[in-house]
Structure 1
């Protein structure tokens, strides 16, 4: 077949035409939902947008939770230490005068820790499906969406206020508010293990203390050129900060139920975005 004829193949080593490039970039709905596309591993270094959005959601969800009860749904270090202090209180003072009650704040911290672990355990499903496949990244993020939606419904039905004025008087105290804490923490636990499995500079996307330390220790910290190891860490930190700011601003405008409803929509958009993250095969072609 002649080279110039219609439908002919390009010569080996020749550069593809603009039409060929456009065809390579365009993806039909059939190809997006094909088994090969869904079960392909994504390239973690090219998943900047959804991972940065994960960090945004960490700040967003934590701002809603902390504003109401001064407990973090994502940062379990503080909750774990709080439970340790609750246990130490049992040995404070002389016998007979010790405070043996389980305070409301301690109950909320325990709820957050346990449900966070439950959400992280759900992430083990990804080990069977393929922790970096588009199918699991979509499904796992969609489960996070359902958890966030459930939290929004629970706090809406609870009738509890959105903000607290003092740590000694949390805004949430009834059973439905505890369910809200549980769903929010479970979503963060699942997000954390999924972020860890993708294995990028964004780390777990929920605990940024390590990211701060790694950023300060990065040998390319002051390099003027682009450096992924530094730039992605900065993006994650900024995204979390913006998420916390946006969460509190929306919370003040429409309440905690409305804010979590907005968070539900954002999580759904993230889940869909995983379909369009380039895969490792795509990068190597």
Structure 2
């Protein structure tokens, strides 16, 4: 009698080495997925647009830094690197003097420094506008990176001043503290930082849109129909008052620091403040979707 025997396949457990390899591959896949999800969340966080109405603190920091930097440069060479109205008018005045002058056919030092300030300010505005358009001018990533570039410009000027050992304070209008070739680098870096700051604040689109000059702010403040409503909050008026106050506080602090530690150290502190402002932008709440 023949007995047919059936083949029975029995699955044996994997060897220890194979089991470890299998677990390792599963862990790797899970880890890669987790890392990818984390990177996606971080990217979404940094590219999110900030809420302009909740950006008061970093913008007041911008206003304060305008006061500090203008205190440094005006005390040394009697020009402003934030407000370009005076520098713009100074150049046609110089041309008129050249045309009508006798035996004086060269730009004076202060006129060349004013031209340097105007050109580098426009350069700061240009790179701020182009990079801001590419990254999103209200995104956390751009507001941090742009402020970080401002800090680098400020620190570069501070380092050059430290190496050159220039005086911090001018004796008189015809005897500026910065008078050599490096003075144009000081002026250029500071003016570029102001131009970059100005266009960044403008694109955020708040009542702090003019963080580099006060002429428009004064006009809007004094003409505000709710200027004298002292018993209630008025956002536009209060922000304009805060802008003026931060300008004045920065100018006062900058001048006091100049007397105590000199322009190089003052700008070093300013670069540190700019870096803090840049980090501050990363924690501004995201703008709520209107959809």
Please give the TM-score of this superposition, normalised by the length of structure 1.
0.85
Which stretch of the first structure deviates more once superposed, 35-44 or 84-93?
Answer: 84-93
Q: How many residues align?
A: 252
Task: Please state if 1:273 is matched with 2:283.
Answer: no
Residue by residue over 1:214-238, the C-alpha shift from the partner in whole angstroms, topping out at 9 and shown as x without a partner, is: 0111122122211111111111110
Distance 1:193 1:98 in 2: 41
User: 2:134 is matched with which residue?
Assistant: 128
Which SS does the other structure have where 1:281 is aligned?
A: coil
Equivalent-residue separation in structure 2 for 1:177 and 1:101 (angstroms): 18
Q: Quick one: which of 99, 110, 113 aligns to 1:108?
A: 113
The answer for unaligned runs of 5 or more in structure 2 is 1-37
Note if contact 1:44-1:200 (Cα within 8 Å) is conserved in structure 2: yes
Counterparts of 1:102 and 1:177, CA distance in 2: 15
For residues 21-42 of structure 1, what are the alpha-carbon distances to aligned partners after superposition, in whole Å with 9 as ceiling and x for unaligned? Answer: xxxxxxxxx79x8111111111
- Deviation, 1:195, is 0.6
CA–CA distance in structure 1, aligned partners of residues 245 and 147 of structure 2: 21
**1:252 aligned onto 2:238:** no
- The equivalent of 1:183 in structure 2 is 189
1:27-46 pair list within 5 angstroms = 34-46=42-54
For 2:180 and 2:99, the matched residues in 1 are separated by 29
- Shift, 1:98, TM fit: 4.6
**Is the CA contact 2:121–2:193 (under 8 Å) kept in the aligned structure 1?**
yes
Q: Distance in 1 between matches of 2:203 and 2:168?
A: 34
Check conservation: 1:145, 1:264, Cα contact below 8 A: yes
Report which of the two structures shows the higher radius of gyration computed on alpha carbons: 2
Following TM superposition, the consecutive aligned residue runs of length 4 or more in structure 1 with deviations greater than 3 angstroms are none
CA distance in structure 2 between the partners assigned to 1:98 and 1:247 by the alignment: 40
1:281: Cα distance to partner? 2.2
- In the alignment, does 2:143 pair up with 1:143? no
Match of 1:25 in 2: none
Distance in 2 (alpha carbons) for counterparts of 1:90 and 1:145: 38
CA distance in 1, matches of 2:144, 2:87: 29
Q: 2:248 matched to 1:241?
A: yes
Query: Where does residue 220 of structure 1 map in the other structure?
Result: 226
1:230 to 217, 225, 237: 237
Q: Structure 1 CA distance, aligned partners of 2:136 and 2:225? A: 33
CA contact (8 A) 2:210 2:217 kept: no
Aligned with 2:282: secondary structure? helix
The answer (yes or no) to whether the contact 1:90–1:98 under 8 Å persists in 2 is no
Contact 1:132–1:197 (Cα < 8 Å) also in 2: yes
Aligned residue among 158, 161, 179 for 1:155 = 161
